Chains A and B, each alone.
Chain A
Amino acid sequence: MTETEFALRTEGVGKRYRKGWALRDCTLTLPAGGVIALVGPNGAGKTTLLRLVVGLLAPSTGTVEVLGHDVTASTPHTLSRVGFLAQDHPLYKRFTVAEMLRFGRACNLRFDQGLAERRLAKLGIPLDRRTGSLSGGQQAQVALALALAKRPDLLVLDEPVASLDPLARHEFLQVLMGAVAEGGVTVLFSSHLVHELERVCDHLIVLNHGRVTLTGDIDTLLAEHRLLVGPRTATDLDRAGAVVEAVHSDRHTTLLVRDGALPTAPGWQAHPVALEDLVLAYLRRPSEPSATVPSGAAA
């Protein structure tokens, strides 16, 4: 556990490029020790948010606080506690794995080379190979081993598994989750592979049109939402709680509701909602003020 309860806190963060706002009114509080998924379509502002978190970009408005420190005023010491794995796992392709590790040690205040070597040996990745000659999955593992060798308190990954085949993806997540099990690291990663999130994440941020449309502890979010299926209706919907999405067919209606009481009307059934369906429903909504629950409100 770090000395702060929160790994990341943003307050009214916005980022404006010449073309307009990439991110607006982003207020988040993320608990330390969690695994947080950032999801949203391309162009939603995911990469912008991640770059703001690791200090590669400065916010146009608001503040970003990582591990209790303002990122814009961050010192090398603060930065040494944050690991970042950019999209497509960039490595120097002509370096051998061993040279890559030496480079990592030279560039970081804190770098556990032995740890990285042990991880790679366990995966059977030879240190004398050029990184460019490794498979995509192995390159991702080398990049992850480098990031974990910093022993970061916060590890930020931009689309870490998007380019990997299913087996490599599983192996990558096994190593990442194993690192979380060892304790002390909070993981924030972006993804658009929604169906795999539930097993690896405990916290969710849905970003759409540059705004946060849903955030919170996943179990809490799933417990708050349910699908109500019943005879077609267009009225009296508000009794069922906040309706996130209503889908009507000829004879029946499906409602996704939040904080909804169980239906008492005859013919209505309540079903749990899968995380993927929940995320998709929020992504389909037109942009509007954010719906958030306090972080860390989990049971």
Chain B
Amino acid sequence: MFVFRLDTHSGVPPYLQLVQQVRQAVLLGFLQPGDRLPLIREVVEHLAINPNTVAKAYRQMEQENLVTGRPGQGTFVNEQQSAAMPASTYTSLGRGLATWLRRAYAAGLDEQAVNALFASVHQQTRNEGVA
């Protein structure tokens, strides 16, 4: 069964963290079509989290067509039309990033500097409307 985590220091709203974890797990293949997500009640008791937050996350995932709730049965991961990245794209992008990271570390950047640079460039490209 899928297990949710919660990072209370990330600044990302908890409901969004839950959505992102499922989105990421689907993308990486940890969650596959037909897999059942834990019941809201189970997530609440595991994380000691507000049920409204979990319900909101599940609603959002349904709206994004990530999952489907079936009354009395649970919430199930959908067949993904476009979201799932082809394995080849995933591999090639990953390789490109690894090459870039090796260059960055070789140039003397540490992890924090890499993250700061990524955040800054990401913000810039977003402002230019690329991403």
Query: Which residues of A pack against B, CB within 8 Å?
Result: 33-35, 170, 173-174, 177-178, 180-181, 195-196, 198-202, 218-219, 222-223, 262, 264, 269-274, 277
With beta carbons under 8 angstroms apart, the residue of B41, B48, B119 that contacts A173 is B48
Given A200-B50, A262-B127, A270-B123, A177 and B44 contact (CB-CB distance below 8 Å): yes
Tell me if A178 and B9 are in contact (CB < 8 A).
Answer: no
Nearest CB in chain A: distance from B69 CB, A: 15
User: Which residues of B1-54 have CB atoms within 8 Å of chain A's CB atoms?
Assistant: 6, 8-15, 40-41, 44-45, 47-53
Q: How large is the interface on B (under 10, 10 to 19, 20 to 34, 35 or more residues)?
A: 20 to 34
Tell me if B45 and A269 are in contact (CB < 8 A).
Answer: no
A191 to B8, CA, bound (A): 16
A262 to B47, CA, bound (A): 33
Judged by DSSP, the binding face of A is: helix
Please provide the 9 A-B residue pairs with the shortest distance between their CB atoms, ordered closest to farther.
Answer: A181-B51, A173-B48, A272-B11, A274-B11, A174-B48, A181-B44, A199-B49, A202-B52, A177-B44
Q: Specify the chain A residue showing the minimal Cβ separation from B46.
A: A174
Query: Which residues of B pack against A, CB within 8 Å?
Result: 6, 8-15, 40-41, 44-45, 47-53, 56, 119-120, 123, 127
A223 to B56, CA, bound (A): 15
A270 to B122, CA, bound (A): 12
User: Which residues of A have CB within 8 Å of B11?
Assistant: 271-274, 277
Nearest CB in chain A: distance from B13 CB, A: 5
Q: Specify the chain B residue showing the minimal Cβ separation from A226.
A: B11
Nearest CB in chain A: distance from B101 CB, A: 22
Given A219-B15, A273-B11, A199 and B48 contact (CB-CB distance below 8 Å): yes
Tell me if A200 and B127 are in contact (CB < 8 A).
Answer: no
With beta carbons under 8 angstroms apart, the residue of A35, A199, A273 that contacts B47 is A199
Tell me if A177 and B15 are in contact (CB < 8 A).
Answer: no
User: Which residues of A have CB within 8 Å of B9?
Assistant: 195, 274
Q: Specify the chain B residue showing the minimal Cβ separation from A266.
A: B124
Tell me if A195 and B8 are in contact (CB < 8 A).
Answer: yes
User: Which residues of B have CB within 8 Å of A219?
Assistant: 13, 15, 56
Q: Specify the chain B residue showing the minimal Cβ separation from A201.
A: B50
